[in-house]
Structure 1
Amino acid sequence: MTSAATIESKPTTSTTGEAPGTVVVDAVTKRYGNATAVDGMSLTIEAGEFISLLGPSGCGKTTTLRMIAGFEQPDAGDIRVSGRSVLGVPPYRRDVNTVFQAYALFPHMSVAENVAYGLQQRRTPRSEVRDRVVEALDLVQMRRFADRKPTQLSGGQQQRIALARALVNRPSVLLLDEPLGALDRQLREEMQLELKLLQSRLGITFVFVTHDQGEALSMSDRIAIMRDGRIEQLADADTVYARPASAYVAAFVGQQNFFRGEVAEGGAAVASTHALVRGTAPELAGLANGQAAVRPEFVEIAAARSDASAEVNLARGTLLGVSHLGETMQYLVRLGDDQSLIVRRPTPEAPNLTVGDPVECSWRAESVLLFPADDAASAGGYVAPPTA
């Protein structure tokens, strides 16, 4: 996307001093019968920010987006867009537009007619409609397809048209509900780059809902990790990945090896069945049980030595599998009946090991995260099944 075209969002009179494009979710709760989808959630999204709501199915991220869009109303709390409360305001009167995973393009209309539809419903002058449609299509590099029907376009091209249709109304906030979910991996990665470049150039606030951690990490200024209708952590990608606030976040973002057991050494280590795993700080002082986490890329692997000294964070086991992931090699090591370890090494540095070999794995204490006992497995952390 290299077009020089620009789209300016509409100015909005604020009643709170908040800038156009700011979104404030203030102590919002949403219930469906006895189920609470969003539980007293508060979140401030700055104007021009690209923020992702990330979490598993059922965590409340899509419900939050739909309440900002106006498709759902909160049971408690307030939502402000560009400084104005939007409670009770229908979607078409809010300073937002939404792009869905299902593009919902009109099949009987051309690309240009699809993009123009919203403007025509607002009775925008015909000459202005034409100029703004061209401008929006230029932004997504689709002007040459203006006369085609949606069925004549690829999935990626249809996604671009859905974006153009949303942007042509010049919203201050663009809401994106898993818009890349229907694309294949390569095209999805290309669209991630294009979306971020487009958002940076336009300066429009993007609120992006996804369950794909890679999407969130690659595009977002900040990520809100959601759990059971609440925000577990809100931070930039580096912080979320390197300094997760909880075992849940550590497990959901990236991949972790977890060791669970009794707290040892005054809270600076966890004594599991297979290793004494030391961290860099006494995070667990006063607790009986905890868990230590280390990412696969921080683990070294080598053939086991019978004379190896008992060093810090050393575990011995048997190599169960080797997978080539392109730039990295992945090793699966069985430490015992109830624990396995994933190791990833850069392909040029990967040791030549054979399935069945006895191996030893080691890692530095500063690579270890220590947490209170928690069901991190529910967030996607690697927990090996027991041997049959």
Structure 2
Amino acid sequence: MADSAPAATAPDTGNTTGGVEIVGVTKRYGDSIAVDNLSLSIQPGEFLSLLGPSGCGKTTTLRMIAGFEHPDSGDISISGRSVLGLPPYKREVNTVFQAYALFPHMSVAENVAYGLQQRGVPKAEQRQRVAEALDMVQLRRFADRKPTMLSGGQQQRIALSRALINRPSVLLLDEPLAALDRQLREEMQVELKLLQARLGTTFVFVTHDQGEALSMSDRIAVMRAGRIEQLDGPEQIYAAPASAYVASFIGQQNFVQGTVAAGGAAIDTDLGVIAGPWGGERVSPGGSAVAAIRPEFIRLESAGSTANGADARVLSVSYLGETLQVVVGAGEQTLLVRTPAPTAPSVRVDDDVRCVWSPDDVRLFATDGAPLASTHVITLPDRSGT
């Protein structure tokens, strides 16, 4: 694990406005280290996501950039100048947190215009920019209502438009879409990315939702225990995760535990020998390792096939529109299989099948005791008497 792995190249705008530099920052709460000697360079105009589980340090990092928390050591610069000791209102940032923090006695339009009023923006410009901001979040028709008359998701969209209307050099977002329903959240992901590209504003987005990170980010910093496990572009993070931990957070994975076989290019597992390239640190023969196989890289063949893979029994079949999802059991291991519905094989619960995959689609990883988010192991019922 390192502060930063080999990373995708971030946008280079040729200036420092909106750039963020975090150098050797550590933040402690008592005996607990929330952020551990973290260094990160965020380029002007970049959309960067901090991704990880609760407690990994992503929100603490965001709050230190904003000025709501102060590092115990290290330095933070925005647009080429250190901001240590500066209060939030003196930094070139605006922040959208999960809490709405709206003024209940003001209308929606007045809430959105508040920052412009504080800066003395002319009223005609205020009206135009408020209308544009409310159009962006599809709330213009509610401009004269009070926030308490709207749903939680709508209130979060008001908070988002209020932050964006000031056009800060850096916009910090702490899971701002979490309160929205799925369809609107997906629409807002598209709108946020388009808006960010149009304004050229640096976005630093905190989320535990890998789908959000993949769909919007120029780069993703996957965090673990206050450090960066991998910093890379979405495609690299998905296709070439640097560790089993990263693989478990980006997309879904089937993890199979095993022991590295002689030669080191495969592991011995309960499903047989699984071969594939290594992701990250290589493990010597005899050591513990895990094989990761994405659901879309497994195909189902009829029982009796001798193709590379493992025999299994169908446990469930789910139709997900464009995708057919099949859960199979092989020994005490469950595997998730996803295949395009138009070309999916006809299978039913209790069918015997063979799960087939290419070694090129497998990644082998060292195991370090960390929980793997997509590991599924169950005990299957005994069918010997049926």
TM-score (norm. length: structure 1): 0.88
Aligned to 2:355: 361
**Matched-pair contact (CA < 8 Å) for 1:156–1:187:** no
The amino acid across from 2:341 in the alignment is T
Percent identical among aligned pairs is: 64
Select the residue among 307, 311, 330 that pairs with 2:325. Answer: 330
- Residues 296-326 of structure 1: CA deviation (Å, up to 9, x unaligned): 1100112211xx33x43x1012211112222
- Residues 167-193 of structure 1: CA deviation (Å, up to 9, x unaligned): 222210000110011111111111111
SS in 2 for 1:165: helix
Structure 1 regions of 5+ residues with no counterpart?
A: 1-16
1:305-344 equivalent positions in 2, closer than 5 A: 305=304, 308-309=305-306, 311-312=307-308, 314-337=309-332, 339-344=333-338
SS in 2 for 1:266: coil
Aligned to 1:299: 298
**Matched-pair contact (CA < 8 Å) for 1:259–1:270:** no
**Matched-pair contact (CA < 8 Å) for 2:17–2:79:** yes
SS in 2 for 1:21: coil
**Matched-pair contact (CA < 8 Å) for 1:266–1:284:** no
Aligned to 2:341: 347
**Matched-pair contact (CA < 8 Å) for 1:248–1:375:** no
How far has the Cα of 1:73 moved from its partner? 0.5
- Which segment drifts farther, 217-226 or 137-146? 137-146
Aligned length: 366
**Matched-pair contact (CA < 8 Å) for 1:50–1:222:** yes
RMSD: 2.1
Q: 1:35 to 1:315 in 2, by over 3 A?
A: same
How far has the Cα of 1:123 moved from its partner? 4.9
Aligned to 1:31: 28
Select the residue among 179, 184, 187 that pairs with 2:184. Answer: 187
CA distance in 1, matches of 2:127, 2:344: 57
Are residue 371 (structure 1) and residue 368 (structure 2) matched? no
CA distance in 2, matches of 1:92, 1:384: 50
CA distance in 2, matches of 1:105, 1:157: 11
CA distance in 1, matches of 2:288, 2:258: 6
Are residue 273 (structure 1) and residue 267 (structure 2) matched? no
SS in 2 for 1:57: coil
Are residue 104 (structure 1) and residue 98 (structure 2) matched? no
**Matched-pair contact (CA < 8 Å) for 1:319–1:331:** yes
Q: 1:274 to 1:135 in 2, by over 3 A?
A: closer
**Matched-pair contact (CA < 8 Å) for 2:283–2:289:** no
Q: 1:375 to 1:209 in 2, by over 3 A?
A: same
Select the residue among 351, 370, 385 that pairs with 2:378. Answer: 385
TM-score (norm. length: structure 2): 0.89
- Which segment drifts farther, 160-169 or 125-134? 125-134
Aligned to 2:145: 148
- Which segment drifts farther, 239-248 or 353-362? 353-362
The amino acid across from 1:286 in the alignment is S
